[in-house]
Amino acid sequence: MHTDRRRFLGGLGAATLGLTGFPAAAQGAPRVAIVGAGMAGLAAAHTLRWRGIPFVLLEARDRIGGRAYTDWKSLNVPFDQGSAFLHAPSSNPLTPKVTELGYTILRQSGPPEVYIGNSDQGVKGNRALQAAYDELAHAISVAGGHGDDVAAADLLNSSSVWDRLAAWAVGPAEAGIELAQLSTLDWYTHIGAGLGRDGLVREGLGSVVAAFGAGLPVSLSTRVKSIDWSGPGVRLETQSGTVAADCCLVTVPVGVLRDGRITFTPALPATKQAAIAGITMGVVDKIALAFRHGSLPPVRNEWFYQVRKDGTIADVLVRPFGYDMTVQFTGGNLAREMELLNDADQIAIALAAVSDIYGNAATTGFSGGAVTRWARDPFSLGSHSAALPGQTHQRAELAKPVADRLYFAGEACAAAWASTLPGAFVSGRAAARVIAERHG
């Protein structure tokens, strides 16, 4: 069942810049300015360093990793605020890096238990959800396989509780958007292609990304405000000063580009602007709860869906990393609505779901909570990309260079593994190789 969880040398010297906030250069001025030190930017930087091409890596956050971040402070256990699942570990291009860096891959639990209120629907309910999911996924796959790029909502024929759960799994939980925004072709090409069961990294997938980028020179807290590509090279205006380079690789989330948080001079070509407009940002948020040892039932890990009295769905992993914690997922419109609530109210909602399923005794061991708000994160404005119906082709358009001076990479540009961390990894490396061939 694909509801396994979505399948989800050189720097630049201060003397050259006239600044103090940039890493010291190994040699010369930068040939390439990389904007964004998420996975795509880090993969590109590694590739350029291996090719001996000087670069400067600029990151608006005060850390590397972008939307892959393992929070160790909030709960004293690893909480992946963003990317968490190692999709299809046997074929995932990041799996060799995970093992090479010494991290532990765990197999995720099987299909979810289903509760209506606090009533366990048992094997019958699990089979009903499986059947509804398979029917919807098959309809989307047939449409996508024929090249039809339409809204998945057009294919949902029923509104039974099982169909609503299946719609949740396919849309908000996986893609971070409702079925009305979900492209059948995008889902078929990048999400619904039978990736297999997900894995988890015990120490956190964000920890892997942090380790991957640990040796790279990065200018943190350096937000790029504008990029001027009117001359033979590029000039980037940052909050710390101006950076000049031969070319620029933009790896920021498409949400940042859609919102105009980086201006371009001259304006980007109409085809590039259309590509940016055709790819939206999905939202998948998390409410993580930590418990004292022994408070939760003695199960190693579990996953459950609960249909609550108000019709909303609680989507909860229990002990996902073997720690005494739960992680509740919200996606799509529900996630955006939940972001309007304060932390305490969100945590109370998540605790209520745990109490409904495991009893009040479980919640007495609650020791702390943490929430995410990716739609409001100014450096991403969402969790991951989603091509709108009729717009799947825009991913390839977004990835195209402009005038051999502007290059683009990231999970929104990925030809394979789009909307995922490995997609960003592959896209960043590919863009860097093209840059090396043209500017090396």
The structure's pTM equals 0.92
Bridge partner residues of 143 (DSSP): none
Residue 429's SS3 state is: helix
Helices vs. strands in the chain: H and E counts, helices first: 14, 22
pLDDT, tens only, 216-264:
999 999 999 999 999 999 999 998 999 999 999 999 999 999 999 999 9
Q: What are 330's two structure tokens?
A: 């919200």
Among 170, 166, 176, 165, CA closest to 144: 170
- Angle of the 122-145 helix axis to the 161-170 helix axis, nearest 10: 50
Kindly state the tokens that stand for 348. 């109370």
Distance of alpha carbon 408 from alpha carbon 385, whole angstroms: 14
User: Quick one: CA dihedral 354, 356, 358, 360, positive or negative?
Assistant: positive
Residues whose CB is less than 8 angstroms from the CB of residue 360 and which lie 6 or more positions away in sequence, other chains included: none
243 phi, psi to nearest 5 deg: -120, 130
Rg, the chain, Cα only: 22
Going by C-alpha positions, the residue among 136, 131, 130, 85 that lies closest to residue 111 is 130
- What topology does CATH give the domain 2-67+205-280+392-439? FAD/NAD(P)-binding domain (3.50.50)
Q: Note down pLDDT in tens along the chain; length 440 residues.
A: 433 433 322 232 332 333 334 443 334 568 999 999 999 999 999 999 999 999 999 999 999 999 999 999 999 999 999 999 998 888 899 999 999 999 999 887 678 899 999 999 999 999 999 999 999 999 999 999 999 999 999 998 778 999 999 999 999 999 999 999 999 999 998 865 445 568 899 999 999 999 999 999 999 999 999 999 999 999 999 989 999 999 999 999 999 999 999 999 999 999 999 999 999 999 999 999 999 998 898 776 689 999 999 999 999 999 888 889 999 999 999 999 999 999 999 999 999 999 999 999 999 999 999 999 999 999 999 999 999 999 999 999 999 999 999 999 999 999 889 999 999 999 999 999 999 999 97
Q: How many Cβ atoms are within 10 Å of 231's Cβ, its own excluded?
A: 9
Show the beta-strand stretches assigned E in 40-149: 55-58, 70-71, 79-80, 85-86, 105-107, 113-116, 119-120
For the structural domain made of 284-381, what CATH number should be given?
A: 3.90.660.10
Helices (H), 268-389: 270-278, 332-338, 343-358, 360-363
Measured between alpha carbons, how far is 171 from 180 in angstroms, rounded to an integer? 9
Question: For the chain, what are the domain ranges?
Answer: 2-67+205-280+392-439, 111-194, 284-381
What is the 8-class DSSP label of residue 327? E
**CA 437, CA 148: separation in Å to the nearest integer?**
36
Q: Residue 425 has which token pair?
A: 């990894």
pLDDT, one tens digit per residue, over 105-152 is 988 767 889 999 999 999 999 999 999 999 999 999 999 999 999 999
Q: Are 2-67+205-280+392-439 and 284-381 in the same CATH fold?
A: no
Cα distance between the two ends of the chain: 46
Q: Nearest 10 degrees: CA dihedral of 342, 343, 348, 350?
A: 120
